[in-house]
Amino acid sequence: MFHLHKGSAMSRHRSVLAAAVASAVVFLGAAGIALGAGETGTAAATAGCGKPPALTSGQHTINSGGQNRSFILRLPPDYDNNRQYRLFVGFHWRGGTANDVDSGGTDGYNWSYYGLRRLSDAANNGTIFVAPQGNGNGWANPGGQDLRFVDDLVNRLDSGLCVDTTQRFAGGFSYGGGMSYAVACARANVFRAVVAYSGAQLSGCDGGTQPIGYMGIHGISDNVLGIGLGRGLRDTFVRNNGCTPQNALEPRAGSRTHIVTNYSGCRAGYPVVWAAFDGGHTPGPIDSGGDGWRTWTSGEAWKFITQFAGGGGPTSTTTTTTTTPPPGDAACRVSNVISAWNNGLTSNITITNTGSATISGWSLVFTLPGGQTITSGWSATYSPGSGQVTARNVQYNGDIAPNASITVGFQATHTGNNSAPASYSLNGNTCSVA
């Protein structure tokens, strides 16, 4: 159980196999954004690139402003010192710890770093995760000491590891959401974007005038940090990013749904996303009720931070062309978690390599039920949008090792039939359906 604020606690996360994504999504802007060097600055190789890693996974300490501060580092299992990695800094909530964020608490690995570590590993997408520990298990940031800690932490990671300097992200829940907002205000030239789960201005806002990618997630019945506080954080970056002001749609009480709004008119490369849900003070709401690692928030946050160019790519500049793989090189299993509402659905497809050889380049073929039309997707390309569809790998997830899995997904409209495809074939071989 995660203890949040005095007198407030989040119920125990349940461990169930699936990673459901949005069940009621409104797209009001461009969902996919490719950022060029003009918006983010050229990716620079940090001092740790090309050298044996000076840091390993586990707990570390650092001196910051005369204080010994600690953090937990989680490197990809196949860390390559010639690859520039995305960085995600995960802040804990009040009363929480760095270990809670890193371990995933009672849900374990599935909820590690708010579920993002699992999704990164599944996509082989190259992310370094770090969980700093707040003084007094919070992020009061007196005199800017927590921001100084973040600065010292980033410098330590840059000097010892290979990091993509245009792909630094931060996120956190409750007090951690407040700290993520403080980072967005004061370090927009260091971090590319932040995700604030049920946050408020608790850790200050030094500056707060520069654009940065921003995603806010908040429950309409939050009785710890009311949703109005979250809206205020969001609106700071609606202004800074030049987005068109609007009253973003939010679900009604009792609907057990959520609505995700992508703001329109934002400066190229600086999106603002607002995800409101029918629920209280939690980072992991489930539309059917309760909370846990099956929440849609992990998928939406992952989609948000992976929309930016770069992130986990090799240091060399090569052109990757996706080709249709030859048939006969895949033994596979597919599971599909569908979350549907009146005229739409999302499909979260997990592909598992059950063979003995690595799959290098893949295409998954399936037939959508009549009346379904794909409107957007993630972690794969989809063509055409209805009937028999072929999903093909993107640059970062073309290889699937034996017994490994990747997760892809799409959003679609429907006219009444919201069921999953009956069968799937991977590289010409029929997959078993879980």
Domain with residue 340: its CATH number is 2.60.40.290
9 within a domain of the structure (yes/no): no
User: Cβ distance 403 to 426 under 8 Å?
Assistant: no
Q: Give yes or no: residues 261 and 209 share one domain.
A: yes
Indicate if 298 and 208 belong to the same structural domain: yes
Number of folded domains that form the chain: 2
SS3 per-residue string spanning the chain: CEEEECCEEECCCECCCCCCCCCCCECCCCCCCCCCHHHHCCCCECCCCCCCCCCCCEEEEEEECCEEEEEEEECCCCCCCCECEEEEEEECCCCCCHHHHHHCHHHHHHHCCCCHHHHHHHHCCCEEEEEECCHHHCCCCHHHHHHHHHHHHHHHHHHHCCEEEEEEEEEEECHHHHHHHHHHHHCCCCCCEEEEECCCCCCCCCCCCCCCEEEEEEECCCCCCCHHHHHHHHHHHHHHCCCCCCCCCCCCCCCCCEEEEECCCCCCCCCEEEEEECCCCCCCECCCCCEECCCCHHHHHHHHHCCCCCCCCECCCCCCCCCCCCCCCCCEEEEEEEEECCCEEEEEEEEEECCCCCEECCEEEEECCCCCEEEEEECCEEECCCCEEEEECCHHHCEECCCCEEEEEEEEECCCCCCCCCCEEECCEECEEC
Co-location of 303 and 340 in the same domain: no
Whether 81 and 154 map to the same domain: the answer is yes
Quickly tell me which residue has 């000491």 as its tokens. Answer: 145
Q: Domain range holding 343?
A: 332-431
Residue 302 shares a structural domain with residue 353: no
The answer on 349 and 299 residing in a single domain is no
User: Does residue 20 sit within a domain?
Assistant: no
146 within some domain = yes
Residue 107 lies in a domain: yes
Contacts of 384 (CB under 8 A, 6+ apart): none
Contacts of residue 28, Cβ cutoff 8 Å, sequence gap at least 6: 246, 248, 261, 262, 263, 264
Does residue 1 fall inside a structural domain?
no
Last residue of a domain, one of 307, 324, 356: 307
Last residue of one domain, picked from the residues 273, 307, 341: 307
**pLDDT tens track of the chain, all 434 residues?**
343 433 333 333 333 223 322 333 333 332 333 333 234 444 567 899 999 999 999 999 999 999 999 999 999 989 999 999 999 999 999 999 999 999 999 999 999 999 999 999 988 778 999 999 999 999 999 999 999 999 999 999 999 999 999 999 999 999 999 999 999 999 999 999 999 999 999 999 999 999 999 999 999 999 999 999 999 999 999 999 999 999 899 999 999 999 999 999 999 999 999 999 999 999 999 998 889 999 999 999 999 999 986 533 333 322 223 333 444 445 899 999 888 878 888 898 999 999 999 999 999 999 999 999 998 777 788 889 899 999 998 767 888 989 888 888 888 899 999 999 999 999 999 999 98
Residues in the chain: 434
Is residue 376, in this structure, part of any structural domain at all?
A: yes
> Residue 339 has what pLDDT?
83
What is the CATH classification number for the domain harbouring 125? Answer: 3.40.50.1820
Inside any domain, residue 152: yes
User: Beta partners for 14?
Assistant: 292
Give yes or no: residues 100 and 249 share one domain: yes
In a domain? residue 37: no
Residue 126 CA, chain-centre distance (Å), reads 13
| Predicted TM-score (pTM) above 0.75 | no
State whether 388 and 269 are in the same domain.
Answer: no
4: left (phi over 0), alpha (psi -120 to 50) or beta: alpha
Placement of tokens 């949005």 in the chain = 22
Same domain flag for 350 and 229: no
My answer on whether 125 and 234 are in the same domain is yes
Same domain? 168 vs 300 = yes
Per-residue pLDDT at 10: 39
| Alpha carbons 61 and 218: distance in angstroms, whole number | 32
In the prediction, which pLDDT does 43 show?
52
My answer on whether omega of the bond before 384 falls inside 30° of 0, hence cis, is yes
Are 401 and 294 found together in one domain? no
Select from 273, 221, 231 the least CA-distant residue to 251: 221
